[in-house]
Structure 1
Amino acid sequence: MASGEEDDPVIEEVDVFLAKSLADKLYLFQYPVRPSTMTYDDVNHMGAKIKPKQQRVELELAVNTTSPNYCRSKGEQIALNVDGAAYDETSTYSAKMMDKQTFSSIQAATDVSRYAAAVFRKGELHVTPLTGILQMRPSFSYLDKADGKTREREAANEGGDSSQDEAEDDAKAVTVRFSRPESEQARQRRFQSYEFLQKKQAEEPWVHLHYHGVNAGRSEHERQYLFCQSSDASENSELVKTAKEYLSMLMPPLEEEKVAAPVGPSNVLSMAQLRTLPLGDQVKTLMKNVKAMPFANLMGLLASGIDSTAALRCIQQVALLVQGNWVVKSDVLYPKNTCSAHSGVPAEVLCRGRDFVMWRFTLERSVMRKDVASVTKLPPEDVKEFLEHVAAPRVNRGWEFLLPTDVDFVKKHPDIAHRQHMLWVGIQSKLEKVFNFSKEDFMPKTSPQPEPVHVAGAQRLMAARERALENKASLQKDLDARRGGARVHIKQEPVSDAEDEPMDTSSSSSVPNGSVNGHPGAAGAASPPELQEFVVKTFRKRFVLTLNEFKRLLNLHLASMPAGPSVFHAVSDRMLTDAITLNHCKQIMVPFPAQSKAAPDEQKVFGLWESGEEFDKHRRLLYDLFTKNYRVRRAAVQSRLAQEFGDVPKADVDRLLNECCSSHAGTWYLKGTIQS
């Protein structure tokens, strides 16, 4: 030993044995979402299964429903959402409450040849190679099942995606297609597709297992296989490597580990991979996948540090502005020399049809599918695909644009809005020649023609001032005429602040669309028919609204109206209240607590009283409960319904609470009244 080196003698030598009894069936389970001090050894394991080839394991563990930390009402609600009211063999929760959770595995490492489990006993170290290292994480597949149930209920309520206005004709054209022989390139793409890989994974059957606790007799017996058996020991061989070779085997030189790419389709990128692409490719890829989105959402998905001006330049190359939102261009989705996957229609024809759909949405919020089909003469499958890109079906209203009008973007970027408007004018002229129609064919006859969205704010303000001066001069002239013709006795009556002050529906002093908050008429004046129509439509959809929330919705409605003279002049709180109560709604006198932080407008709650359906009596009974307390329990609602109407289906109770209330901590509040 060289002088100066620390004396490090060998104090013990240990024999190492290689155990092979469990070499191809030993897995290491890790639970990364739970501390090591909280094991699952004492938890009842209700089931276990494995797919050996994929090394996928699922464990079902019981949930302690008697624990004081377990919310029984929430557990029952989850079970109801997943399994529905009926019970059969396919139900996930047989106890009608969430009494178990599922753990699903993912591979922590693809190459486990360097890992082993070792047991030390009587001066001997016994090593068994690992087959796999699996991380067990909670599985939320029951939420997917609940979403499926919800979509089924919505489809049943809406009666499919078409209404009586969307009914197809009895006689339909039939397109006959013949499949061509599959090329080798197409075959390779199909084998790499996500759908094919998922199908292959699903083909391997589950092998159901029986779980034995850590202290069970069978577990103790299996642990004996971790020790080298006599048959394994007979194969023992002496180490013939030199010390340097043996050291190199123990500590090989560092090499960059090759990370296996995740299994997935070749045409799908993760967000991390996406953000490594050039900005133009990032924008194009996002728009091709999302189809329609606001500009603010796009900036949130792009890599950090991207300049908004550069992003605006890129998005104008691949998308068009529709109602303040960006929608991907048709030629990006349907490139040249391609055809429809449904009908085989060439890409050029598809682009014209989809441009017509997008152009219609620049004029109005909803379109009818039969109108689109009658103009474009395209197969129903292609028309439906166009609409599904940017719209959703609504009962008796056709297809409504997916996104709310992004007024803020139009205000911040008037130059881009003007440029996009001019592009749509050019697209419109081409469509008129191709499909032989005029713009007036699709405009409501009673509504004024919309003005371009590029009118500057200063011009709107000046026009509003001019209209105010004209109104003032007209009123003064009328008053002078009355004074000259006859003596008029005018009695000054006090007017409350709430009646005299016009409604302020926004935090800023600017009023959208040029509407002017002048002096309102006398208290109790008749509200405009347009306001009453808005009340009816809003409460048929929302059922319960606070005055503050109704003001917000009205403000959004005003902002989405085309520029020009507004039909909504000064609107006071009194006029709003009168318009609501005159249209089959009533105020619900909710007894808020004295320490409530709700604003006065949030404490004025209105509910739809009469809609003409049998369900109105259930709503009125619910409103009566909320006149006694500002929050109620589900059991109280069920008890009162059963007392008044007998046995009420659970689905009706769910519908009543979901339409009118919001849930928090196991208690139900009328919408908009929840207290934080």
Structure 2
Amino acid sequence: MQYPVRPATMTYDDVTHLAAKIKPKQQRVELEISMDTVSPNYCRSKGEQIALNVDGTGYDETNTYSAKIMDKQTFSSIQATTNTSRYAAAVFRKGELHVTPLTGILQMRPSFSYLDKADNKTREREAANEGGDSSQDEAEEEAKAITVRFARPESEQARQRRIQSYEFLQKKQAEEPWVHLTYHGVKDGRSDHERQYLFCQSVDASENSELVKTPKEYLAMLMPPLAEEKVVKPVGPSNVLSMAQLRTLPLGEQVKTLMKNVKVMPFANLMGLLASGTDSTSVLRCIQQVALLVQGNWVVKSDVLYPKNTFSAHSGVPAEVLCRGRDFVMWRFTLERSVMRKEIASIIKLPPEDVKEFLEHVAAPRANRGWEFLLPTDVDFIKKHSDVAHRQNMLWLGIQSKLEKVFNFSKEDFVPKKSAQPDPVHISGEQRLKMAQERAQENQSTLQKDLEARRAGSSIHIKQEPVSDREDEPMDTSCSSSIPNGSLNGYPSATSPDFDHTNGGSPANTASLELQDFVIKTFRKHFVITLNELKRLFNLHVASMPVGQSVFHSISDHMLQDAILLSQQCKQIMVPFPAQTKAAPDEQKVFGLWETGEDFDKHRRLLYDVFTKNYRVRRNIIQARLAQELGDVSKADIDRLCCPLI
């Protein structure tokens, strides 16, 4: 045993040892040593104060200091080293060196456990003063709801973490009982008897084969001859691949493995990690299957990190819940550079460890700014691959719609208060003159028709087109004379006089046809749908289209609504929602399939008429109305009629 906090010249050999105990398995030793309370270096008032704090004013057999003064000191051991194979105790006597191997080396240091006891006494007194009548408090305590959780089967990995935890080690140490010992001083006869075991009892030196070597053999043992070392290939962790091993995988697996390990990466860095000559179009096709675009950088998808039927390593939360929470964090970073951890946690309502893990994947903490996205916005990628960026934006709109329903929030809640104002557009005088000349050329044909109509008098009637009440409605101009004005209010239908039947239509007309085709197919599948749900389905439809083949650009809510009404097969159902409804404005706009050419159309129209009177109708009322207007209606027809509305 060693006493590192005391000089070697000041031993405890002559000091009275009051008690000793040991835990053999843990190699822990505690000694109680008396203190000289009459020494001029001892402060008696301080010793009395410590005893009072520890034991209080009462007398009990469990008191630490029975004399009402601190008259003893406890020393507790710690292991100086865990590997004692290189250490031994040696005794030299009569020309012989006797060596005894050591199984443990302990350092004895003062223990201050009495201070913990004093703190506990203080807390008990404070609780007694503030608690009052404890029996009355218990009687008046209100019932509280508790959450019952059933323990899941413990995996081997979780078991290893639990065994290595501090709490488990403390519990194991407390389970071993203390063995009380009797202390014998250095000059005691029992101590002298134990010291005799340090000397070798065998008188035959031939038994010590290790100590009868010749000088040459002993030198060979000290300096063994060099041997050819076999080069052993290092074995890496099971989840780590070298670049050579990585490039043997298919391209899709390479991209997935890289994104799963890096979490967030610019596209240029990803191309640099792949083999030279890899086609960037193929990489773009693969990266969109395992990652999402956030601020021009690719972030691995949540379902790649948290596969189905798995659970959180921190809290045991299912993978489906983790994916929704992480998607919300990624979506927030599509809106702004920094987010606050408390705000995220208050919405997704997941344990702090999981929220921190989500943020550490894509962000870093910044002083007074919360968590900032790890990488700068990759503007070059967005400009170079605008079609991919647009498709990813449509995909995020679909994800946003799902998150709004799950977490009950609105995008407007997270719009930054201070948004950057767009730069003003400056139009020169020459451009204004050119625009005026083009408008005059476009209006020339209309003026010519009006003049001819006046000359012809009443013999020819010119059909007057209704004047639109919308402002800045775009005109059908040629490519050479088109000037973008930044506003799109709708697309002409196939029957419109502006539609070019010879060329297949302009890009805007093509998009209008595609949009109406999507609307008709959607309503033939769902029959009744709100504007909000139609937008979600449209965003998913755009995101599922191949890269570069999308004809939709900047489709507004008004265009989508016009496409429904211009299809001539759908009509808006004016459902009278109550004033205090929680439904969003887009959810209050309900549209239904009106004309399909089937006999069932009259049943559907009658149902729509019922819902124009009340927004909530019982099934028996619908059945009675159908029987009144159309006679007996089968249960199968009623189920077919009501299922789209549920």
- TM-score normalised by L of structure 1: 0.33
Larger Cα-atom Rg: 2
Q: RCO higher in 1 or 2 (8 Å CA, sep ≥ 6)? A: 1
- TM-score normalised by L of structure 2: 0.35
